[in-house]
Amino acid sequence: MAVLKFEKESEKSRLTVWDMLSDSQREEAFAFCEGYRQFLDRGKTEREVVDFAVSMAREKGFCDLSEKSGLLPGDKVYSVNRRKEMVLAVVGQESLERGLRLVGAHIDSPRLDLKPEPLYEDEGHLSLMKTHYYGGIKKYHWVGIPLSLHGVVVKGDGTVVKVSLGDAPGEPVFTITDLLPHLSKDQMEKKMSEGIAGEALNILVGGIPVKDREVKQRIKQGVINRLGDMYGISEEDFISAELQAVPAWPARDVGFDGGLLGAYGQDDRVCSYAALRALMEIETSARTAAVLLADKEEIGSTGNTGMQSAFLENFVAELVAGRDEKYTDLSLRRCLAASCGLSADVNAALDPNYEEVMDKLNASRIGRGVVLTRYTGVRGKSGSSEAGAEFVGRVRGLFNGQGVYWQTGELGKVDQGGGGTIAYLLAAYNMDVVDCGVALLGMHSPFEVASKADIFMTYRAYSAFLQHI
Ligand code: MN
Ligand code: MN
């Protein structure tokens, strides 16, 4: 793709990526998003994304790092952490002490998790399940919509039962009912944040009682019997389960021209998919290229599958040891500190309905290309790992040279914004890192919207970074 140049400086504010793409490039962008659509529909949880990414990787010749003894340039390897986090790499020609080129995204998204004791019967007429929401949600988004259930149940004997119910046509869905407007006077007068209570996010799961009238909670028992028939699980098995309720709809084209894509969980599966595709086209490169798909970003990157765990560091140590038998702690530290990374995460696009929350000069816009975000954080950049001017300059120069159409972004006005990414945790290894990803409308809503041109451009940006920075 040619370097994008504006005839006049004034064009910069009104041209979009679409203006820069030739007809064949537009087709390429649309085709890319068809692959992304499948990725979204088959990967509604971090576990499903990992399964899908492993199959993508194996098809492209990647193998599990544990299957290897010793690494050579061009080797393609991956490692999976507890089926919920993943890292992949294409081993470069140069010594690992020269560092990695890393793109780090996350594959968890806001949702409703079932509680450890979810199931109950209410007043002898309905059975419901209690939830504890995960990540930053607006609770009113989650009532009155069809939900599907995804996850695993681990039985007492260790058997893992996979659950995915509600997305295929003909399957039943679940829902959280909302109050009719006629009876909502009190609810409507509450603050929006209090209109739906966290403890009221209870999912409707059944309504037919068992025939035996001696049974105490006959509707709940009906659900338990059904779960036994379908999955061979008992009520106690919920204690060792990870079940998530997510919107039950597939990704859809948005708008008359189909130039936008709407779906649940684009934060941050959009960057994850773009990064995977960019990595998988590399056959050989000077530096080792790697992609991280982290879990738990939405709740602070905590836990053994979040960015705060040693998983990435351990993987890099294995790479260093695989390339050089004389592995030392110093060689690992040199590798990490010489690395540079993109924290591949979404940015809040200027929403025409809510322009007042953004500084319009610095906000990202739909259709204007991949977003470079120098800092996140809130009220004085608190919590941000601000990217240095030198590194941002390098990335800017790279994108300009490689024909990547890009823009800058922030996460809202100085005292209103917020939100973090995994950038600060990568920066903690003393590597250069900057946030870079897709602009979204409706971020963290059940139907997030992105431009297909931006999605395609993000893939091109990661491709340029992994191969050429
Ligand atoms: Mn994110
Ligand atoms: Mn998020």
Give yes or no for residue 11 having a pLDDT over 80: no
**How far, in Å, CA of 306 to CA of 377, rounded?**
19
pLDDT score, position 296 = 98
> What digits encode the pLDDT tens for the residues 394-423?
999 999 999 999 999 988 888 877 778 999
> What digits encode the pLDDT tens for the residues 76-86?
999 999 999 99
Question: Ligand 2 mean position to 262 CA, how many Å?
Answer: 16
pLDDT score, position 82 = 98
> What digits encode the pLDDT tens for the residues 32-48?
999 999 999 999 999 99
DSSP state for residue 2 in the 8-state scheme: P
**How far, in Å, CA of 349 to CA of 107, rounded?**
20
Question: Ligand 1 mean position to 234 CA, how many Å?
Answer: 35
Question: Ligand 2 mean position to 126 CA, how many Å?
Answer: 34
Nearest ligand atom owner, CA of 435: 1
Report the pLDDT averaged over residues 328-345.
Answer: 97
Give yes or no for residue 2 having a pLDDT over 50: no
The count of other CB atoms within 10 Å of the CB of residue 160 is: 11
Question: Ligand 2 mean position to 267 CA, how many Å?
Answer: 5
Q: What is the 3-state secondary structure (H, E, C) of the chain?
A: CCCCCCCCHHHHHCCCHHHHCCHHHHHHHHHHHHHHHHHHHHCCCHHHHHHHHHHHHHHCCCEEHHHCCCCCCCCEEEEEECCCEEEEEECCCCCHHHCEEEEEEECCCCEEEEEEEEEEEECCCEEEEEEEEECCCCHHHHCCCEEEEEEEEECCCCCEEEEEECCCCCCCCEECCCCCHHHCHHHHHCCHHHCCCHHHCCEEEECCCCCCCCCCCHHHHHHHHHHHHHHCCCHHHHHHEEEEEEECCCCEEECCCCCEEEECCHHHHHHHHHHHHHHHCCCCCCCEEEEEEEECHHHCCCCCCECCCCHHHHHHHHHHHHHCCCCCHHHHHHHHHHCEEEECCCEEECCCCCHHHCCCCCCECCCCCEEEECCCCECCCECCCCCCHHHHHHHHHHHHHHCCCEEECCCCCCCCCCCCCCHHHHHCCCCEEEEEECEEECCCCCCEEEEHHHHHHHHHHHHHHHHHC
Nearest ligand atom owner, CA of 347: 1
Q: How many CA atoms lie within 13 A of 345 on its CB side?
A: 29
Stretch among 253-257, 330-334, 381-385, 456-460 having the lowest mean pLDDT: 381-385
Question: Ligand 1 mean position to 405 CA, how many Å?
Answer: 21
Question: Ligand 1 mean position to 349 CA, how many Å?
Answer: 13
Question: Ligand 2 mean position to 378 CA, how many Å?
Answer: 15
CB 244 within 8 A of CB 169: no
> What digits encode the pLDDT tens for the residues 254-286?
999 999 999 999 999 999 999 999 999 999 999
Report the pLDDT averaged over residues 210-228.
Answer: 97
Can you list the positions of beta strands (E) in 187-274?
203-206, 241-247, 252-254, 260-263
Report the pLDDT averaged over residues 457-465.
Answer: 98
Q: In what order do the strands lie in the sheet with 370-373?
A: 63-64, 76-81, 85-90, 288-294, 100-106, 340-343, 432-437, 370-373, 406-408
CB 430 within 8 A of CB 337: yes
Question: Ligand 1 mean position to 28 CA, how many Å?
Answer: 26
Report the pLDDT averaged over residues 4-17.
Answer: 69
Give yes or no for residue 123 having a pLDDT over 90: no
> What digits encode the pLDDT tens for the residues 156-215?
999 999 999 999 999 999 999 999 999 999 999 999 999 999 999 999 999 999 999 999
Nearest ligand atom owner, CA of 293: 1
Nearest ligand atom owner, CA of 110: 2
Nearest ligand atom owner, CA of 104: 1
Can you list the positions of beta strands (E) in 337-414?
340-343, 347-348, 370-373, 406-408
Report the pLDDT averaged over residues 291-310.
Answer: 97
Question: Ligand 2 mean position to 419 CA, how many Å?
Answer: 8
Question: Ligand 2 mean position to 326 CA, how many Å?
Answer: 40
Question: Is the bond preceding 268 in cis, omega lying within 30 degrees of 0?
Answer: yes
Alpha helices in 339-433 (DSSP H): 389-402, 423-427
* Structural domains in the chain, sorted by start: 9-109+264-468 (3.40.630.10), 112-247 (2.30.250.10)
Question: Ligand 2 mean position to 373 CA, how many Å?
Answer: 15
Question: Ligand 1 mean position to 310 CA, how many Å?
Answer: 20
Give yes or no for residue 363 having a pLDDT over 50: yes
CB 215 within 8 A of CB 145: no
Give the confidence band of 1 by pLDDT, cuts at 50, 70, 90. Answer: very low
Amino acid at 180: L
**Whole-angstrom Cα Rg for the chain:** 23
Question: Ligand 1 mean position to 421 CA, how many Å?
Answer: 6
Task: Measure CA of the first residue to CA of the last residue in the chain; give whole Å.
Answer: 17
Nearest ligand atom owner, CA of 437: 1
**How far, in Å, CA of 435 to CA of 370, rounded?**
10
pLDDT score, position 171 = 98
Question: Ligand 1 mean position to 298 CA, how many Å?
Answer: 7
Average pLDDT across the chain, whole number: 95
Give the confidence band of 12 by pLDDT, cuts at 50, 70, 90. Answer: low
- Give the global pTM: 0.97
